[in-house]
Amino acid sequence: MFTVPYLHRILIIIGMGMGLLSHSKNSSAQAFLLPERQKREIIPFKLIKNLIVVPVYINESGPYNFVLDSGVGVLLVTDYQLSEQLPLENLRNIKITGLGNNPDLDAFISPPLNLSLGKAHGNYIPAAILKNDVFNLSEYAGMPIHGLLGYEFFNSFIVRINYVDQHLTIYPFSEEYIPRKGQKIPISIEQRKPYLETNLVLNDGSEKRVKLIIDTGAGHPLSLENENGKPFQIPDENIAGNLGVGLGGPIEGYLGRIRSLNMGKFKLLGVISAFPNYEDLAAKLTLVERNGNLGNQLLKRFQVVFDYSRNSMYVKPSGFFKEKFEHDMSGLELVSAGPDYKRVIISRVAAGSPAELEGLESGDEIIAINFKPVSEFNVNEIDNLFKSGNERSYLLSILPKNSDKTKKILFTLKRRI
């Protein structure tokens, strides 16, 4: 089972971050490079439920689907079968500490790998390989997902992310890139992850200065976790639920709106934020003191440029800038199943939601929406349908669990936040 479609967040602490790299005799070479004299490279990606999925070749095999995740400090392979397919030998056992309720996880350190994205090549890059995929990202994304790529890539280039056209453009650090009409925002790189400081206004009108990790591996807009050693005040209008999954298991908490958040000179209104249970999350964050997490559902409202070498980020409004922040209006958590991920199974039903009122249950399967088989939708289309408008109705064909007879339901959405 995965988590809510809105907040899949990969909340990770990898305590062995710098220690992992120190085991390599070629630590100085653990970076990506473009061919000599090449000034830029364009790399296409797929934006799947607000995740950036890039094609990665490993040891000249692939491509494999990796989430580009600025919030992860080391290369992480979530699909253990990948280590058998390549194959990888001389794996060393380690323990990974994560966020959530579960104990530390068993994982392995790989020998140094050679990676490539387009014409960008990275050599001598070790990986942490999970023995068990706690994220179930393939079920969430409706396509095979093999792992997460973060610091090694962002620390090698100026990286421009175009969420609308779904491509990255990378430049050597020697070629400073400043977008026209872009706003420069200072960032810091701490424990191999980027952070910014900005202002936001909570629902009670109080203004806060916050430090947020900039996290391209998070599907949500915002998560507020820790205010001076205690939880943030949860808005009066909220919904409770399973907010995400970390290496340590589920993260429980609430979803609500804040009045506004600033990104440089740009102000975003009515931002939906997660408010995780303090003991599940903030109490376990000890590496870098921070207030929360800024994810792709907010970042995609801009064309974003990361320049780690100059401790800078540039933002320029994109075609998504004026989109209103909306949350799922169905109360359904869905996973993709089957060898081609074309089946859609209900994994969880939120209490008091339209889905619960219609009697839908975990394990039921959605066969069709408005008479169109779900196999003809992609996961983005289904995700967008279920947050497309208050009081909008769809005719669902449902195969109840442990049944061989389908039933039809006129299903009406309801805005819950």
Task: Report if residue 187 sits inside a domain.
Answer: yes
**Residue 281 pLDDT grade (very low, low, confident, very high; cuts 50, 70, 90):** low
Q: Would residue 1 count as lying in a domain? A: no
So what's the pLDDT on residue 284? 55
pLDDT tens digits, 46-101: 999 999 999 999 999 999 999 999 999 889 999 999 988 998 888 888 876 655 45
What distances in angstroms separate CA 51 from CA 14, 159, 249, 301, one per listed residue? 20, 16, 20, 14
C-alpha–C-alpha distance, residues 400 and 386, integer Å: 19
Instruction: Indicate the pairing of strand 393-399 with strand 372-373.
Output: unpaired
| Residue 5, CA atoms < 13 Å, CB-side half-sphere | 31
Token pair in block for residue 309: 């070498």
The larger pLDDT score, comparing residue 179 to residue 324, is at 324
The answer on 239 and 166 residing in a single domain is: no
Compute the mean pLDDT over every residue in the chain, rounded to the nearest whole number. Answer: 88
Q: What is the pLDDT of residues 210-247, one digit of tens each?
A: 999 999 999 999 999 999 889 999 999 999 888 876 65
> Between residues 100 and 362, which one has the greater pLDDT?
362
Q: Are 252 and 242 in contact (CB under 8 A)?
A: yes
> What number of other Cβ atoms are within 10 A of residue 322's Cβ?
8
Same domain, 90 and 228: no
Cis peptide before 87 (omega within 30 of 0): yes
| 188 plus 287 within the same structural domain | yes
In a domain? residue 322: no
Domain boundary among 317, 347, 362: 317
Tell how many helices (H) and how many strands (E) occur in the chain: 7, 34
Same domain, 299 and 401: no
Whether 177 maps to a domain, the answer reads no
Distance CA 325, CA 294 (A): 14
Q: Hey, how many other C-beta atoms are within 10 angstroms of the C-beta on 71? A: 24
Q: For residue 13, give the 3-state DSSP assignment.
A: coil
Residue 183 pLDDT greater than 80, yes or no: yes
The verdict on residue 5 lying in a domain is: no
- CATH number of the domain at 363, please: 2.30.42.10
Most confident of 72-76, 249-253, 283-287, 362-366: 362-366
Same domain flag for 14 and 132: yes
Task: Look up residue 44 and give its two tokens.
Answer: 């296409």
Q: Which of 116, 138, 171 is the last residue of a domain?
A: 171
69: containing domain = 10-171
Q: Is residue 2 in a domain?
A: no
Burial classification of residue 230, based on how many CB atoms lie within 10 Å of its CB (0-12 exposed, 13-18 middle, 19 or more buried): exposed
Domain for residue 326, yes or no?
no
Tell whether 281 and 375 lie within a shared domain: no
Closest to 6 (Cα-Cα) out of 329, 367, 238: 329
Residues 373 and 246 in one domain: no
Q: Average of pLDDT values for 264-279?
A: 93
Do 241 and 299 fall into the same domain? yes
The residue type found at 30 is: Q
Q: Do 120 and 19 reside in the same domain of the chain?
A: yes
| Sequence-ordered list of residues with C-beta below 8 angstroms from that of 197, at least 6 positions apart, any chain | 186, 209, 210, 211, 212
Residue 62 has what pLDDT? Answer: 94
The owner of tokens 């997660």 is 274
Q: Check if the beta carbon of residue 223 is closer than 8 Å to that of residue 295.
A: yes
Give the pLDDT score at 25: 47
32 and 163 inside one domain = yes
Q: Examine the domain organization and report whether 364 and 296 are in the same domain.
A: no
Give 4 or 184, the one with higher predicted confidence. Answer: 184
Q: Which of 317, 349, 379 is the last residue of a domain?
A: 317
Instruction: Tell whether the model's pLDDT for residue 346 goes beyond 90.
Output: yes
CATH number, domain of 85, equals 2.40.70.10
- Tens-digit pLDDT profile for residues 310-323: 999 999 999 999 99
Same-domain check for residues 269 and 165? no
pLDDT of residue 11: 40
Judge whether 300 lies within some domain.
yes
- Name residues whose C-beta falls within 8 Å of residue 195's C-beta, 6 or more positions apart in sequence: 187, 188, 189, 211, 212, 213, 214, 288, 290
The structural domain count of the chain equals 3
| Reported confidence tier of residue 282, pLDDT bands at 50, 70, 90 | low
